[in-house]
Chains A and B, each alone.
Chain A
Amino acid sequence: MASPRIWLAWRVGVFLAALAPLLFWSWQVANNAAGPEPGRYLLLNLGIGGLWMLLLTLSLTPLTKLTRWKGFALIRRQLGLWTLAYATLHLLSYALFILGLNWALLGSEIVKRPYIIVGMIALVGLAVLGATSNRWAMKRLGKRWKPLHKFSYAILGLVLLHFFWVVRADMQEWAMYAAIAALVMVTRLPPVARALPKLRYRFSSA
């Protein structure tokens, strides 16, 4: 259908699109347009950005089933790694900008605050999945690779729990992400997963 060059352009395009928010936020901070607490601005945006990346990553398989377009599968690893990158930067902004790189405080906060423990487990999980996302690891893990990477569903749940715990006055934003997450997870249920390709057939013949 398409030449390797076009696929390369697609992947580079996705790369740039995923990079763009980071550049935009940095630019806002550099221009004093991020408010009186730029560190917290980065922290919250990176958290939400990481959640978006995770949701997008997990949408790719159902989207492939629905459309059979090869492009989605091609960016799955990349978006997974972007999730890890955003989450790592999120932790870094917490350590640097909120705690002022006070290691002792970081250590005590990580063990004391349930929402941070949950965030930490999610981040460690993302790191394990990131480290085993290359071809070599896939080969080494063989049949165990798939079940291992199903842990990404649990990570999604942990991130939503982490987010739930920091909501204060209004659940609307959280509820929206939870609804998207529920939709993504529903597409994994075997009957739904089986129905997706049929749905595509319906669309294309209509």
Chain B
Amino acid sequence: MLIKIAKPSDLHESDVTPESIYLSRRRFMGGMAGLGAGLALSGHAQANADYSDVPDGNAPAWLKEKISETQWGAITPSDPKKDKIAPFDDASGYNNFFEFGTDKGDPARHAGSLKTEPWSVVVDGEVNNGGRFALEDFAKPSQFEERIYRLRCVEAWSMVIPWLGIPLADIIKRADPTSKAKYVRFETLVDPEQMRGQRSSFSIIDWPYVEGLRLDEAMNPLTLLAMGMYGRELPNQNGAPLRLVVPWKYGFKSIKSIVRISLTEEQPVNSWQKIAADEYGFYANVNPNVDHPRWSQATERRLPNSLFNPNTIDTLMFNGYADEVAELYAGMNLKENY
């Protein structure tokens, strides 16, 4: 059992949680049970992680308020000693966000130029309830949850990150997909003035960065739209103000700084698949049995590590979330659909 989902009754907050949110938690739990997944419902919610050394951000008032009402520890690793939260400086200093450069330090150096307020998100395609939404209105109806997930990069390293956000399913339900909707397509902001990586004439990525999920993957309760981490708002380099987190897929699926969410009938072509289809597929499920052409995916380096302890651990099928998501791929050949 690799994750723990807190019972509402475990939480002190449950006493003060408004009824509607309590109910949405129940629905969430119901959704999980519906997957037939054996979940660790027992045990106590982990005491709030200690974020006292995390620098304060500069969140707008509405976001601060949403964060203060977060359901803390909604999903936590079942073995917090093994899955230790990475230090904030590492999680916010070692990033792939090619809109800001190719070096892992570039996003932290250059993402300050991104203006995240005001921000709006377009919801369109096969929906009855589309439109352009101010981020605030987009986020407000949902309860923020803290979810501590393993993030497995396709480059064979991983970190454990405490996200704050809302289930993507909430958003999709509100958009009211038509019967034709089969996939969800996401798009990152394109603005070369704010994003220096997009100014490079040597870039291999055809902007905007695009990602996609199958509708049932998007509706899976684990799939999160994050607006914060470490008890605060997202730093720009981590994909502020709105990013996807799909913990059983390689990190590149978790698209950053989202401006558009479209429900589609056709399977979207995600950016990395377009660049190198033999290296990166549409599904990109974490899978220790399917190597990247240039390295093995059987193991990963859990970061931070040190010179003489690479901290190499075995990579788990679906990044350890098999109980929750394996069902989605029943009968599929995962070697072909990598």
Interface residues of A (CB under 8 A from B): 29, 35-40, 42, 96-100, 105, 109, 113, 115, 165-173, 175
Nearest-CB distance from B124 to chain A (Å)?
Answer: 27
**Which residues of chain B come closer than 8 Å to A113, judged between CB atoms?**
293-295
- Residue pair B296, A36 in contact (C-beta under 8 Å): no
CB neighbours of A36 from chain B (8 A): 86-87, 90, 93-94, 159, 303-305
Q: How far is the CA of A42 from the CA of B308 in the complex (A)?
A: 13
From 102 to 116 in chain B, residues with beta carbon under 8 angstroms from any chain A beta carbon are: 102, 104-105
Enumerate chain A residues within 8 angstroms of B159, measured Cβ to Cβ. 36
Closest CB pairs A-B (n = 7): A36-B304, A36-B90, A172-B202, A171-B202, A169-B98, A36-B303, A100-B310
Sample 18 A-B pairs with CB under 8 A, ordered by A number. Answer: A35-B94, A36-B86, A36-B303, A36-B305, A37-B305, A39-B307, A39-B310, A98-B301, A98-B310, A105-B296, A109-B296, A113-B295, A115-B294, A165-B294, A170-B203, A171-B202, A171-B203, A173-B102
Given contacts A100-B312, A171-B204, A172-B200, contact A109 B295 (CB under 8 A): yes
For B104, the closest partner residue in chain A by CB is A35
Q: Which residues of B contact A166 (CB under 8 A)?
A: 294
Q: Beyond the given A105-B296, A171-B202, please list 17 additional residue pairs across the A-B interface where CB-CB is below 8 A.
A: A35-B90, A35-B104, A36-B87, A36-B90, A36-B94, A36-B303, A38-B305, A96-B308, A97-B307, A113-B294, A113-B295, A168-B102, A169-B197, A169-B203, A170-B202, A170-B204, A172-B102
> Given the complex, which residues of A lie within 8 Å of B305, measured CB to CB?
36-39
Q: Are B307 and A170 in contact (CB under 8 A)?
A: no
How far apart are A205's CB and chain B's nearest CB, in angstroms?
40
Contact partners of B294 in chain A: CB under 8 A: 113, 115, 165-166
Max chain B C-beta neighbours (<10 A), residue from A29, A35, A38, A168:
A168
A30 vs B155: C-alpha distance when bound (angstroms): 24
Measured between beta carbons, the chain B residues less than 8 angstroms from A165 are: 294
Q: Does residue B306 face the partner (Cβ distance < 8 Å to A)?
A: yes
- How far apart are B301's CB and chain A's nearest CB, in angstroms? 7
Contact code string B189-222 (vs A, CB < 8 Å = 1, else 0): 0000000010011111100000000000000000
> Is there a chain A Cβ closer than 8 Å to B157's Cβ?
yes
Residues of chain A with a CB closer than 8 A to B293's CB: 113
